[in-house]
Amino acid sequence: MTADRLRPGDRVALRGPADILASLDAAGSLAGVPFMPEMLRHYGSIFTVAKRVEKICDTICPVASRRMVDTVFLEDLRCDGAGHGGCQAACRIYWKEAWLIRMAPGAPPPPPDAAALAALARVAAANAQRADRPDHFRCQATEAQRATSPLPVWDARQYVREVSAGNVTWGRMLRLLLLRILPWELRRLLRRPAGMLPPVRRLPGAPKPAPLGLQPGEWVEVRSPIEIARTLDRRNTNRGLYFSAPEMATECGKRFRVRRRVSRIIEESSGRMLTFNNDCIELEGPVCTGDRSFGRWFCAREIYPYWREAWLRRVAAPADEAEAAGASATRDVEMAVTPN
């Protein structure tokens, strides 16, 4: 890796909009990665490089790893969907290195030229939909296959790159290679997958948990593997929503706060907007780490898994949070009744 490549911990800001415009092709992309309208609001700020994007997981069948180059993640910046019909997938944003400038300590971010910024916004907005189907969207997730190349799981260079890029320590790499990647991939080749839910007897007409109507800020506990398995069909789905056991079963018994209810996301394979007719919950904290992802190890996309309410149970807030909420409410009442 050359010395001028960005590394985790580097401080950066967006280059001038004229420079970014000059890097884009007719589809508003650089090397297949679109510059999206949601990225414009990050002008005027300085960010820290979280990871180099050396590889990503492709969630379009067949699920596998793909090679990406000259790209980084900045902190936990995620797409808010404002330029793509309110999509709630909350994908991490890919930043091409050509769109960023390394910042010296204490230096302020360069102010963007207003005219060039407006021109960049027009280009980004014009390419947020597919030209052949205006009712379908284009984003970094839908274009990921065109921005990457196939990466076989047994290509050892990908694991060396993760270490040399500063994304993964040698200790974590060796631990996962010896304890998980090699044995799990061999089991998969032998059609004896690891990390699955326990087998259960699914009785016809078995009672189903009542809808919880969970709202953002409430606390829940993830049900046990056996309880979850009883809600799934033979494809490991509940009303079409897949339970990814290797990643999600590790959260069983843990407590999290509800981040939000998800009702619409863009389908990566087609760009069409999907609307969820059933409950779909996003929790604060759990993301796919790439440590238990068959065929796509060390992916840094950190995708939020989706949860059915049937996989969760409502619990009381932790004592420290309840005390903080009570103290805040008391202060609000005191301020409301205290005369000026």
Interval 150-171: pLDDT, tens? 998 889 899 999 999 999 999 9
Residue 153 lies in a domain: no
Same domain assignment for residues 68 and 210: no
Residue 179 confidence (pLDDT): 82
Where does a domain end: 148, 179, 207? 148
CA–CA distance, 192 with 200 (Å, rounded to integer): 17
H-helix or E-strand spanning residue 20? helix 17-23
Nearest to 273 by CA among 129, 144, 140: 129
Any domain includes 139: yes
Tens-place pLDDT, residues 115-130 = 999 999 999 999 999 9
Among 115, 148, 181, residue at a domain's last position: 148
pLDDT of 196 over the 70 cut: no
Last residue of a domain, one of 148, 183, 217: 148
Residue that is written with structure tokens 């932790």 in the block: 318
d(CA 59, CA 140): 13
In a domain, 162, yes or no: no
Based on the fold, state whether residues 215 and 265 are members of the same structural domain: yes
134 shares its domain with 266: no
**179-188, 190-199, 273-282, 283-292: lowest mean pLDDT where?**
190-199
Q: Domain check: are 319 and 277 in the same one?
A: yes
Residue 94 sits in which domain range? Answer: 11-148
Same domain, 72 and 138: yes
Whether 122 and 203 map to the same domain: the answer is: no
Average the pLDDT over 170-185 and give the result. Answer: 85
- For residue 77, tell me if it sits in a domain: yes
The overall average pLDDT reported for the chain is 88
| 261 and 214 in a common domain | yes
Q: Are residues 316 and 183 in the same domain?
A: yes
pLDDT of residue 339: 43
Mean pLDDT of 98-113: 94
User: Comparing 290 with 147, which gets the higher pLDDT?
Assistant: 147
Backbone phi and psi for residue 301, each to the nearest 5 degrees, phi listed first:
-65, -25
Domain identity same for 293 and 218:
yes
Greater confidence, 229 or 322? 229
The pTM (predicted TM-score) of the whole model is: 0.87
Judge whether 1 lies within some domain: no
pLDDT over 90 at 180, yes or no: no
Asked if residue 161 is part of any domain, the answer here is no
Report yes or no on 73 lying in a domain: yes
Tell whether 199 and 99 lie within a shared domain.
no
Q: Reply yes or no on whether the pLDDT at 4 is more than 90.
A: no
Check pLDDT > 60 for residue 205. Answer: no
144 plus 175 within the same structural domain? no
Has residue 202 got a pLDDT over 80?
Answer: no
Residue 232 in any domain: the answer is: yes
Domain count, the chain: 2
Residue 171 parent element (H or E): helix 170-176
- Give the integer Cα–Cα distance in Å for 106 and 46: 10
pLDDT at 337 over 50: no
Q: 279 pLDDT exceeds 90?
A: yes
142 and 194 housed in the same domain: no
